Amino acid sequence: MPDHTSNGMQCNEFETLLTDAIDGVLTGTGLDRFQAHARVCRTCGPLFAEAEAGRNWLKGLTEVEPPASLVMNILASTTGVDTQRLRVTARAAQPRISWWEHVQATVAGYMEPIWATVRQPRFAMSFGMAFFALSVGLTVSGVRPVEAAQTVGQMVAHPSTIRHTYYNTQARVVRYIDNVRAVYEVQAALRRIKRDVAPAEPGQQQSRPAKPKDDKNDTTQQPEQKQERNYSQTEDHVILASAPVGPSPSVFDSSNPDLPVVSVTTNRRFV
Amino acid sequence: MEDVQVVAMLVRRCIAGDAAAWEEIVQTYNRRIYNICYRFAGSGDDAQDLAQEVFIKMYRTLPSYDHTKGAFVTWVTTITRNLLVDHFRKSKQDRMTDSIDTSASDHEDAQPLSEQIPDQSAPPDAHVRSREVSETVHAALAKLSPELREAVILRDLQDMDYKEIAVVLKVPEGTVKSRINRGRAELARLLQRTYRQVM
């Protein structure tokens, strides 16, 4: 834009004031100078006319209506929930929902992600094993889930059942202890009787002589049973093997009196 | 234009995860954003895609909005303008090869600009004529350079003041006024040229 002065106003100043003039906020002397410049300046005059015309064209444009699906698409792409459609559906149906269903829906909302994780094959096997181990453990320990559930249910239903169950359990424990004591007393009595009867049978005691614990001859450093196998090495019993002096009708034939009498003495190890 | 406290509360609710608050924001601003996109991009389909992108970006960057720094509508318009400029840069080559007679509007009954000039013989009625004029102006607007176009759209179609426009465009207020003047004048020249060709 040429920068020349006309009516005391430069073209740069004219352009600065152009928006104010078009908006209608330029008044007084400023407006007079502006209009005077526009009349005489070959550049600024047409510029003012064109800018005003352009503004009028633009003001004639009306707002366009956005597509009906725009809001729905925006909500679906941002929050991932088609809330508008849900709302329309909810308004159309409006079913009666009890407080229990509300609770169930809320719990399901929290549990669904956990359940989705559990349902994955890698976790499903682990949870299966854990459940199996738990059920085996309960069975071994004598806990029956059904009975436990029934007991809990009864206790919840009637508080007096708690007292009843407590006294029953206490009586059962006392009875058990008494029974155990009786068994122990019977066992002790039997032991005493056995001890009293034992001296009348000396063979019993001789047959199993008490072995001295401090066997000084034990140089084998072997277990007791193993040492017993070699007991003949430690025994010094001499067994005399001898033939009968006279002829024995049961052994020798009496018709052969010339048989020599041999006396043999040998140290033989007892096997 | 907007109650700052109400909008700030709405934004806080939205950040806290209130879907209803976000829907309220979408309901309030979708028309404005769609219109800016439509006037800038020139196409209804593009405008819909761009408006959707604007809201996605807004949804992600909502925590960064500070109501003490400016009005929410200015913040929203800035996001829209930045996204439109990015979109323009991506499709710059296509736009450079467009001619004045190329179809510029998909939203309405798109015709070459020279064919959209009203016939002098007998216009059917005022409504149709008004619609045709709107289409002509819309097509001419699409021919302005992006700098001039965004300035006149924000001023003459969105009624924003110069200070807000300066914030959105990140240029001084004097530059904003200059762009608006040149944009209006260029638009008028385009329309005069078009009418002269038909006549």
- pLDDT score of B104: 44
Which of A71 and A94 is assigned the larger pLDDT? A71
Please report, as a single letter, which amino acid is at residue B55: F
Residues 6+ apart with CB under 8 A from A1: A11, A12, A15, A43, A44, A47
What is the ipTM for the molecules in this complex? Answer: 0.76
How many angstroms separate the CA atoms of B82 and B53, rounded? 11
What structural domains and CATH numbers belong to chain B?
Answer: 1-97 (1.10.1740.10), 99-199 (1.10.10.10)
Closest-CA distance, A14 to chain B, in angstroms, reads: 11
pLDDT, residue B5, reads: 82
Q: Residue A60 and residue B137: Cβ atoms within 8 Å?
A: yes
Which residues in A lie closer than 8 A to residue B134 (C-beta atoms)? 60-62
* Lowest-confidence region among A48-57, A164-173, A248-257, B61-70: A248-257
Residue A179 pLDDT > 50:
yes
Over residues B61-87, mean pLDDT: 90
Residues for chain B: how many in total? 199
Distance from C-alpha of A15 to C-alpha of B177, rounded to nearest angstrom: 9
- Interchain pair B156, A71: CB under 8 A: no
Domain boundaries defined on chain A: 5-59, 67-95, 99-143, 145-186
Mean pLDDT throughout B43-57?
92
Confidence of residue B176 (pLDDT cuts 50, 70, 90): very high
Which tens digits make up the pLDDT trace of A250-259?
A: 444 545 555 5
Q: Are B108 and B42 in contact (CB under 8 A)?
A: no
Q: How far is A40 from chain B (nearest CA, A)?
A: 19
Q: How far is CA A146 from CA A77, A153, A162, in A?
A: 49, 10, 17
| A81 at B interface, C-beta within 8 A | yes
Between A and B, how many residue pairs show a Cβ–Cβ distance under 8 A? 113
Indicate the pTM of the whole model: 0.52
Write down the mean pLDDT value for chain A: 73
